[in-house]
Amino acid sequence: MTATTTATIQVDDVVVRYGEVLALDGVTLRVRPGLVTGLIGMNGSGKSTLFKTIMGMVRPDQGSVLLDGGDPAAARKRGLVGYVPQSEDVDWAFPVSVRDVVMMGRYGRQGPTRRARPADHAAVAEALERVELTGYADRQIGQLSGGQRKRAFVARGIAQDARVLLLDEPFAGVDKRSEATIVRLLRELAGDGRTVLVSTHDLHALPRLADEAALLLHRVLFHGEVSEALRPENLARAFGLDVLGGETA
Ligand SMILES: Nc1ncnc2c1ncn2[C@@H]1O[C@H](COP(=O)(O)OP(=O)(O)OP(=O)(O)O)[C@@H](O)[C@H]1O
């Protein structure tokens, strides 16, 4: 059972190119269990590509990724990793209910028939409760607010009992209540020993959210204490901006 296994993300010197575009240029990163790690970077810095590489959906042109010490695609297939995608990557018109989305987290345990057993229904109900969406279970997923949609995907990862959770911009377009709920949940999930990696633009939420932060600009510029990551000189390097005003030279 993966539940007792320590899962850690190990990325070594990863390069990913899309044709001429160099999305990741020698990324090395260790993400430890039991912590929330924030992944900070400007648009196009490679955050989504790094997530897809960690999940084995994008193959590095160079370098290696280990999830729980093994191949990422295999780890994903055995349900080790839960993913909360960016909103643009989801077809919100798809005719599935919130409950169906959360039940997807149980597919890995159901075999090819996908017949839900009482334990699956119980896990889905508990996950919905934890994200405060019990009353929305039968709604079509697209009928939820932005924050509720994110919470539904977090519930999918909880129902899956994923040891590694990757969240791509979970606070984009999210109301304050959902943000607070997601922050609380991620802290609880990390407290249970899970590995939680969250990309965000929301620097204000970072001290409440994360134990560590990594700054990404096609490579990891800094990884360590959140307060250190937020130092103006570090943000200036990651965002190419002088936080006191204009563009850096
Ligand atoms: N499928 C693709 N084909 C070609 N180029 C791509 C593809 N996906 C991403 N890119 C390019 O790779 C670079 C990194 O993109 P990526 O989406 O990983 O960054 P990001 O930090 O997640 O950005 P954002 O915050 O805007 O989502 C960008 O220049 C982007 O245009």
3-state secondary structure of 176: helix
Best probe residue, ligand 1, of 22, 45, 55, 199 (max atoms within 8 Å of C-beta): 45
Ligand 1 pocket member 57 (CB < 6 A): no
Residue by residue, DSSP assigns 210-238 as -SEEEEESSSEEEEEEHHHHTSHHHHHHH
**Which DSSP letter does residue 5 get?**
S
Q: Per-block average pLDDT, block size 10, for the chain (249 residues)?
A: 57 96 97 96 93 94 94 87 80 86 86 82 95 94 88 92 91 85 93 94 88 96 96 90 50
Closest by CA position to 27, among listed 1, 47, 4: 47
- Is 1.10.1780.10 the CATH classification of the domain at 2-239? no
In the chain, where are the structural domains located?
A: 2-239
Best probe residue, ligand 1, of 17, 21, 197 (max atoms within 8 Å of C-beta): 21
| CA–CA dist 66, 228 (Å, integer) | 27
Ligand 1 pocket member 23 (CB < 6 A): yes
Q: How many A from CA of 214 to the centre of ligand 1?
A: 18
Residue 94 structure tokens: 């798809």
ipTM: 0.95
Best probe residue, ligand 1, of 18, 53, 167, 215 (max atoms within 8 Å of C-beta): 18
Ligand 1 pocket member 53 (CB < 6 A): no
Residue 196 structure tokens: 């939680």
Q: What is the pLDDT of residues 47-57, one digit of tens each?
A: 999 999 999 99
| CA–CA dist 63, 65 (Å, integer) | 7
